[in-house]
């Protein structure tokens, strides 16, 4: 009898933990409709199809999973929005913040700098495209 009760408590505990994890995730990561394609404009931060480097940069942003830490026009993690970042930072600063190097490394937490190390190995074309895309984000949603 005790074994059955112990199993029931275990199963109920697992269910409660799963439900709480789902509720927590839903509250902190609201569902937003994802753009249909990397070239599709988001909010006021329009990506011009005539600028292929910017279009590629948006694709790099998506491929690298940047939305897990950042948001653009409400899509992604709302804790670190990138709306208007192109108006606040020049291209060299954007590169430093994206890779966690230079002056940005002093302002970021050590854990964030470690997470951004993976962006240092991007090809120069992808790095330039990502910076071009971030520089194009000059408006607000």
Say whether both 71 and 16 belong to one domain.
no
* Tens place of pLDDT per residue across the chain (141 aa): 899 999 999 999 999 999 998 888 877 765 544 444 444 444 444 444 445 788 999 999 999 999 999 999 889 999 899 999 999 999 999 999 999 999 999 999 999 999 999 889 999 899 999 999 999 998 765
User: Which contiguous run of DSSP H or E holds residue 93?
Assistant: helix 91-99
Q: Which domain holds residue 26?
A: 1-31
Residue 24 lies in a domain: yes
Task: Give yes or no: residues 27 and 46 share one domain.
Answer: no
Q: Does residue 121 lie within any of the structural domains?
A: yes
Please identify which residue in the block is written with the tokens 């997470």. 115
Nearest to 61 by CA among 105, 139, 104, 119: 119
- Nearest 5°: phi and psi at 42? -125, 120
Q: 9 by DSSP, 3-state: which? A: helix
Residue 95 falls inside a structural domain:
yes
Residues 41, 85, single domain; the answer is yes
Same domain, 16 and 60: no
pTM over 0.85: no
Answer yes or no: do 54 and 104 share one domain.
yes
CATH of the domain at 129: 1.10.760
Assign 3-state DSSP to the chain and report helix, strand, coil percentages, each to 5: 60, 5, 35
Question: Considering the domain boundaries, does residue 141 fall inside one?
Answer: no
**Which residue is it, tokens 């804790």?**
79
DSSP E strands in 86-131: the ranges are: none
């Amino acid at each position: 009898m005790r074994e059955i009760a112990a199993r029931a408590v275990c199963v109920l505990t697992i269910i409660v933990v799963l439900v709480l994890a789902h509720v927590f995730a839903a509250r902190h990561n609201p569902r937003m409709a994802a753009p249909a394609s990397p070239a599709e404009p988001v909010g006021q931060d329009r990506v011009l199809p005539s600028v292929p480097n910017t279009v590629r940069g948006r694709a790099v942003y998506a491929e690298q999973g940047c939305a897990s830490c950042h948001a653009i026009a409400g899509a992604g993690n709302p804790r670190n929005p990138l709306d208007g970042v192109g108006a606040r930072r020049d291209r060299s600063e954007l590169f430093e913040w994206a890779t966690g190097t230079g002056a940005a490394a002093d302002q970021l937490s050590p854990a964030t700098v470690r997470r951004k190390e993976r962006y240092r190995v991007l090809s120069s074309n992808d790095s330039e495209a990502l910076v071009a895309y971030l520089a194009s984000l000059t408006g607000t949603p």
